[in-house]
A and B are shown apart, each in its own frame.
Chain A
């Protein structure tokens, strides 16, 4: 027995050990074949996410969202309700209102007299969609539009409603739609941010826009919307100070990157790499942005298409033109806001002014994308944060009235990017107050937009504070009827 133990011990010599070790190494090598990126040193999490997106072939590559901030009235735009004219001044029946809560602005009102549109409606195009006389240009492209008359939302005041539309939640701490898309799909063009924001303001009663609407929320800061201003410097802090040459800037960035790299090696904080990448993108933006904001390279007829206002920086028309240029250059999400739709009084007058601002340029954007063959891959969205009441706020006259906020039914339209064209979806009752057919909730809308971009809205999530968040929270269904 002892002899055997001794033999056993002698057998465990160095040669045996090494030859067995080779087997072990072989198995490691074999195993590593199953995990291709094990030794490549790439950041696994982000890469694998990016490799998997989009989840399926996208219909739209880019989005231009023409947000009509302040909520344009659906009853003076796309939801034709002749009954409201015939029943002018009559009380809104309780059977229609069904206990709908009111804003502080009409809560004290003792009566709710119905009031019809001051503007006439006509049917246009092959779709025979009704559009008010305020929007002759939009009416001329009606067969490219997909009008949704059955939108509804949960909020009744501007800020929560806007925030809800843009971030999927009424409280303002979540990433905006553009930030989610930037996170999910990145930028097509690495020389420009994936998410750009353009602001303009009409003469109508305005409501504020706040940077939280284009916030990155808990996502990486690089997904935040970059605001383009109408000043000499469209992107603030982008141009070099006087006297600094491009070479000097390059050298400075190289030095900075070297120092940041030292820091990165010490702390391994990915934020440092992000920062370096952002500096580099800004450097490339210094040539890319002037190329895009220069309108002099546009042919004259573009000015006639969008209207001469498009040459006045800061107008809605100029922003629409800029949006087309940004989008054409691969910016994933261009978000416009046009303020001034909050017509609590003097509505017909205010609507005339606002419509004049946006009608031609909105239609022009669609035509312009179309004639370049880009409309198929660009989704254009036009609409506000909620609708307006069918009853009058304040003094009532057929040609001068006001409308309060109404979340239960309102209209938006989309065009291009894989939505059906020449379509009118959803219906409201004869009072234009409740949806009677095919309701589309804001979360459904968001899910549909994500779907068009090739994203399953339930799968694009981000873990924050122990919970996985997504744009549609725990709701939303893709409205497949809208998809071509």
Chain B
């Protein structure tokens, strides 16, 4: 006997050994006490099972070829494969005593055993089967594949193979359709209970695969007591500790999650109804809370999605067309940037008319645009048309959109005729009508015509009266050469701005109304206030604008300004550059210990008529008007004092601002001028720094 034939006969013997072992295990499997080491052997099953599948199928193919040479080789491979099949079956039977049961298991088990039997039969009776070898071989191959399939179902779950094809069928339940029992409770039963409590496998005499079974209960009687979860067997069992024999689902099965435990408990507590809808529950009920988290509030759309290239083409910087979320066929459209709005491009949307559920055209200029094409958009649910200038004519046709739920048309002059159109929109659930030019009667009428619609008329400003903000004064420079242009503006369009240039306070009756930019040709103080119907007149805003004066020959300060506020010395006073409203800006000359005294030398023909002193005033920073002002004119060495009134002292602390002291000069030729400003020596009693020295700040001296 060659070594080859010795091995063959040894393998053949082994085959009988496996078959015998299989027989024993099949008969006594239920009562088998598996020691730990054998359990390990059993768990080798998932590894070894691949060998018989490959080897046996290979053998079948070789036998199929029919040529002598191949058949010989096929028989040897069949022998080795059958041995592996034996090992696999034995290991599988041992493994089966662990936590496996169910239909898939028995199919897998018996098909596996059958495959083993077939392979053994083919091996020993190959000569007799010569005629039907191909047929029987194919049968074996099919059995092997089926065994493998059921085995895979056991480990990976049922429908493992076809799951990728089936998932698309899964329907999401919308909250509004959801029923408590059908969509909340029953799915739990189906996944966690029914495998043991159903026709054919009625454990504890309880059937949970049909309604009567659930209502009837099992061996221990009814297991659901409506309204009484603590007494209900169902709730008791699922809350027992895991180790308890009575605990359901049994220890080795998939357990209920916390949410599922809660759902079952609250369902029983709320009366264990079989018909109730989720929306019929009160919002505060915990069951509703649990349910609302489980169901999508999204509507499931049944229409076809648009072509994604098509959608892509509709997008640009000013129009966004996007699915409401990835994967949804529903589209929402939004327009941005009213200045770039192209009304002709609106009709592009017809390409996706069946998919658009929401369109946002807020603030787009639609006065002249025909919106009637929207009535073809049969799935449109929400339209936003706030502040688009549309009128009642634009609303025609919207009543044809049956799915329309929300319409926002705030800020449009719809008027009474618009109301007639709105009355037809009975399908709309929410209507936004702020600032739509509707009278109180019209509003009430509309509410009556649309009892099921939530209408928001928005904020009503009736009876609310606020003071207006002061107007804004715009100009180029504080100091101007020949003339200046002053613009007044206010952010509220309906206001009337009244102003004065003569220093008097503007009022709402006599002062001129601002309509176009004011042209100034001389130094002036502009004071302006805003007035409007339904508002309290504004505080005034005011500003001083200076016309540039004469250029003197030369000038000389008698006293140096304070060390910290020297600007560029006396030149700063005649440079035509107005300082900013801040004494530290470097444009201002500040005096406190000594008066400001300056001598100005003039040409003969200059003959100034007046002198103006531009001051900074800021009581909080101790900056006051001078206590006294002296002006002297000199002609050929002869000085004479000009009679002028003393500056009016302030009476309270105000914001930082510019001040102006203007004085006329006597007629006649002047070649010299002396100006002397004395800072306040002792601040008045009302001031926090009462008694301290005040400051005088000057940035320009202007001669005309």
Contacts of A288 in B (CB 8 A): 336-337
| B286 to chain A: closest residue by CB | A481
Given contacts A287-B339, A291-B339, A307-B466, contact A300 B461 (CB under 8 A): yes
A58, B324: Cα distance in complex, Å: 8
- Cα distance A475–B19 in the bound complex, in angstroms: 57
Contact: B432 with A372, CB < 8 Å?
Answer: yes
Given A311-B491, A370-B456, A373-B432, does the pair A57, B324 have CB atoms closer than 8 Å? Answer: yes
- Residue from A367, A373, A483 within 8 A of B430 (CB atoms): A373
> Does A304 reach chain B (CB closer than 8 Å)?
yes
Q: How many B residues touch A, CB cutoff 8 Å?
A: 47
- Could you list 19 examples of A-B contacts with CB < 8 Å? A56-B325, A57-B298, A191-B317, A191-B337, A287-B340, A291-B337, A296-B492, A299-B435, A311-B469, A311-B491, A311-B492, A371-B434, A371-B457, A371-B458, A371-B459, A373-B382, A373-B384, A374-B384, A480-B289
Interface string of B460-495 (1 = CB under 8 A from A): 010010111100000000000000000000011110
Output the nearest chain A residue to B432 by Cβ-Cβ distance: A373
Residue B639, interface by CB 8 Å = no
Q: A189-B320, A371-B410, A372-B408 are in contact. Are A300 and B456 (CB under 8 A)?
A: no
State in angstroms the CA–CA spacing of A52 and B406 once bound together: 28
| A54 part of interface (Cβ distance < 8 Å) | yes
* Alpha-carbon distance A288/B363, docked complex (angstroms): 13
Chain A's nearest CB lies how many Å from the CB of B385? 10
Cα of A299 to Cα of B362 in the assembled complex, Å: 15
> Does A372 contact B325, Cβ atoms closer than 8 Å?
no
Q: Can you name the residue of chain A whose Cβ is closest to the Cβ of B322?
A: A188
Residues of A within 8 A of B494 (CB): 300
Excluding A188-B320, A295-B491, A300-B492, 16 further A-B contacts by CB distance (< 8 Å) are: A51-B326, A57-B296, A189-B337, A190-B320, A287-B337, A296-B491, A308-B467, A312-B469, A329-B336, A330-B334, A370-B456, A370-B458, A372-B384, A373-B406, A373-B408, A373-B432
By beta carbon, the residue of chain B nearest A364 is: B459
Compute how far the CA of A1 lies from the CA of B325 in the bound complex, rounded to whole angstroms: 68
Q: Does the CB pair B430–A308 fall under 8 Å?
A: no
Cα-based distance from A192 to B318 in the complex (angstroms): 11
**CB of A305 within 8 A of chain B?**
yes
Q: Which residues of A contact B464 (CB under 8 A)?
A: 304
Q: Whole-angstrom distance from the CB of A451 to the nearest CB of chain B?
A: 11
Interface set, chain A 345-366, CB cutoff 8 A to B:
364
Q: How far is the CB of A232 from chain B (nearest CB, A)?
A: 11
B residues neighboring A (CB under 8 Å): 289, 293, 296-298, 317-318, 320, 324-326, 328, 334, 336-340, 362-363, 382, 384, 386, 406, 408, 410-411, 430, 432, 434-435, 456-459, 461, 464, 466-469, 491-494, 532, 534
A189 touches B459 (CB 8 A): no
Residue among B317, B457, B459, B467 making CB contact with A305, cutoff 8 Å: B459
Chain B residue with minimal CB distance to A375?
Answer: B456
Q: A191 is contacted by which of B318, B324, B328, B408 (Cβ under 8 Å)?
A: B318
C-beta contact mask, A289-300 vs B, less than 8 Å → 1, else 0? 001000110011
Verify A308–B469 contact, CB threshold 8 A: yes
> Cβ of A299 and Cβ of B411 under 8 Å apart?
yes
Q: Contacts A54-B325, A371-B434, A481-B289 given; indicate if A291 touches B410 (C-beta within 8 A).
A: no
Chain B residue contacts of A301, Cβ below 8 A: 435, 459, 461
* Shortest distance from the beta carbon of B576 to any chain A beta carbon, whole Å: 22
A480:B293 contact, CB within 8 angstroms = yes
Please measure, in the bound complex, the distance between the C-alpha atom of A58 and the C-alpha atom of B326, giving whole angstroms.
11
User: On chain A, which size bracket covers the interface?
Assistant: 35 or more
Question: Bound state CA distance, A374 and B532, in angstroms?
Answer: 30
A188:B334 contact, CB within 8 angstroms: yes
**Shortest beta-carbon distance, A233 to chain B, in Å?**
16
Set of chain B residues within 8 Å of A311, measured between Cβ atoms: 469, 491-492
Contact present for B318 and A367 (CB under 8 Å): no
A454, CB-defined interface residue at 8 Å: yes
For the complex, what is the distance from the CA of A481 to the CA of B296, rounded to whole Å?
16
Min C-beta distance of B491 to chain A, whole Å: 5
With both chains docked as a complex, state the minimum distance between the C-beta of A55 and any C-beta of chain B, in angstroms.
8
**A307 partner residues in chain B, CB cutoff 8 A:** 466
A284 within 8 A of B: yes
Q: Which positions 61-98 of chain A face chain B at CB distance < 8 Å?
A: none
Q: Is residue A303 contacting chain B, with contact meaning CB distance below 8 A? A: yes
* Distance between Cα atoms of A191 and B430 in the complex (Å): 30
What CA separation (Å) do A483 and B291 show in the bound complex?
12
Closest to A288 in B: B337
Task: Check if A57 sits within 8 Å of B406, measured CB to CB.
Answer: no
The answer on a CB contact under 8 Å between B432 and A371 is yes
Assess whether A276 is interfacial by the CB under 8 Å rule.
no
Q: Which residue on B lies nearest to A309, using beta carbons?
A: B469
Give the CA-CA distance A305 to B466 in the complex, in Å. 10
Q: Does A454 contact B289, Cβ atoms closer than 8 Å?
A: no
Mark out the residues of chain A between 259 and 310 whose CB falls within 8 Å of any chain B CB in the assembled complex.
284, 287-288, 291, 295-296, 299-301, 303-305, 307-308
The CA-CA distance from A157 to B542 in the complex, in Å, is 45
Query: A296 touching B362 by the CB < 8 A rule?
Result: no
Choose from B317, B406, B466 the contact partner of A308 (Cβ within 8 Å).
B466
Residue of B nearest to A371 (CB): B458
Cα distance A371–B408 in the bound complex, in angstroms: 8
A154 at interface, CB cutoff 8 A: no
Q: In the bound complex, how far is the Cα of B492 from the Cα of A308, in angstroms?
A: 10
- A57-B324, A304-B461 known; A371+B456 contact, CB < 8 A: yes
A328 in the interface, Cβ–Cβ < 8 Å?
yes
Report whether B362 and A372 are in contact in the complex, using a CB–CB cutoff of 8 Å.
yes
Residues of B within 8 A of A454 (CB): 325
- Chain A contacts of B382 at CB under 8 A? 373
CA distance A288 to B339 in the complex (A): 8
B545 to chain A minimum Cβ distance, whole angstroms, is 20
- Chain B: minimal CB distance from A72 (Å): 25
Give A52's nearest chain B residue, CB to CB.
B326
- What are the 3 A-B residue pairs with the smallest beta carbon separation, nearest first? A371-B458, A373-B408, A371-B434
Query: Which residues of chain A are within 8 angstroms of B298 by Cβ–Cβ distance?
Result: 57
Q: Across the interface, do A191 and B492 meet the contact criterion of CB distance under 8 Å? A: no
Hey, which chain B residues are within 8 Å of A52, CB to CB? 326
For the complex, give the distance between the alpha carbons of A81 and B534 in Å.
41
Closest CB of chain A to B529's CB: distance in Å? Answer: 14
Give A53 to B322 CA distance when docked, in angstroms. 12
Residues of A within 8 A of B293 (CB): 480, 483
Q: Which residues of B contact A368 (CB under 8 A)?
A: 459
Distance (whole angstroms) from the CB of B456 to the closest CB of chain A? 6
The distance from the CB of B62 to the nearest CB of chain A, in whole angstroms, is 23
A305 surroundings in chain B (CB, below 8 A): 459, 461
B318 nearest CB neighbor, chain A only: A191
CB contacts under 8 Å to B, within A120-140, are none
B338–A291 CB distance below 8 A: yes
Give A304's nearest chain B residue, CB to CB.
B461
Partner of A190, one of B317, B408, B468: B317
Task: Give Cα A95 to B623, complex, Å.
Answer: 58
Residues of chain B within 8 A of A189, CB atoms compared: 320, 334, 336-337
User: Measured between C-beta atoms, what is the minimum distance from B90 to chain A in Å?
Assistant: 41
Please, which residues of chain B bring their CB within 8 A of the CB of A191? Answer: 317-318, 336-337
Which residues of chain A are within 8 angstroms of B457 by Cβ–Cβ distance? 371
With a cutoff of 8 Å between Cβ atoms, the chain B residues found around residue A295 in the complex are 491
How would residues 309 to 333 of chain A score, 1 for a CB under 8 Å from any chain B CB and 0 otherwise?
Answer: 0011000000000000000111000
CA distance A311 to B623 in the complex (A): 31
Q: Inside 8 A of A480's CB, which chain B residues have their CB?
A: 289, 293
A374 neighbours in B (Cβ, 8 Å):
384, 408
Contact indicator B492/A303 (Cβ below 8 Å):
yes
Q: Which residues of B contact A329 (CB under 8 A)?
A: 336
Cα–Cα distance between A58 and B322 once the two chains are bound (Å): 13
Inter-chain CA distance A311–B325, complex, in Å, is 38
Query: How far apart are the CA atoms of A190 and B325 in the complex, in Å?
Result: 18
Q: Say whether A328 contacts B468, CB under 8 Å.
A: no
A residues in contact with B289, CB < 8 Å: 480-481
Knowing A291-B338, A311-B492, A373-B430, the reply to whether A284 touches B317 (Cβ < 8 A) is yes
> In the assembled complex, how far is the CB of residue A87 from the closest CB belonging to chain B, in whole angstroms?
33
Chain A residues within an 8 Å CB radius of B468: 308
